[in-house]
Amino acid sequence: MRVQILKDFVKQHFPATPLLDYALEVEKITTSKKPNLILNVDGFIGVAFVDMLRNCGSFTREEADEYVDIGALNGIFVLGRSMGFIGHYLDQKRLKQGLYRHPWDDISYVLPEHMSM
């Protein structure tokens, strides 16, 4: 559902979507082999942002590709995860609960002595 809403928006408002069009063609092939091999929302956002950078008219192709190469789009995903974390934190405060902490012994690693740090 989220991908469809974003796809409708991008198709209506972006000047060109060659990378998205390619990704959607790939999705047709992958879903014909296995129904759950879809273009998910993270993949869609990545493809759409590259199309936007390359086709909005504000950047040369080289500038757009440089932003992609240096990993600038990773900030979009970090931002989304950060907002989710803030939401969880505020929910815990609203419910007057402490922030969830996973049990330490479930995440700590015990290495053989010859491999210890």
Q: What is the DSSP string of 85-107?
A: HHHHHHHHHHTT-PPP---HHHH
CB 11 within 8 A of CB 17: yes
**Measured between alpha carbons, how far is 52 from 36 in angstroms, rounded to an integer?**
27
Segment 20-45 shows an average pLDDT of 96
Instruction: Look up residue 53 and give its two tokens.
Output: 């950078």
Residue 44 has a pLDDT of 95
pTM, whole model, 2 decimals? Answer: 0.71
**Measured between alpha carbons, how far is 81 from 41 in angstroms, rounded to an integer?**
13
- Collapsing DSSP to helix, strand or coil, 33 comes out as helix
- Spatial CB neighbours of 68, under 8 Å, sequence gap ≥ 6: 50, 53
For residue range 38-56, list pLDDT tens digits in order: 999 999 999 999 999 999 9
For residue range 66-78, list pLDDT tens digits in order: 999 999 999 888 8
Q: Is it the case that residue 116 has pLDDT exceeding 70? A: no
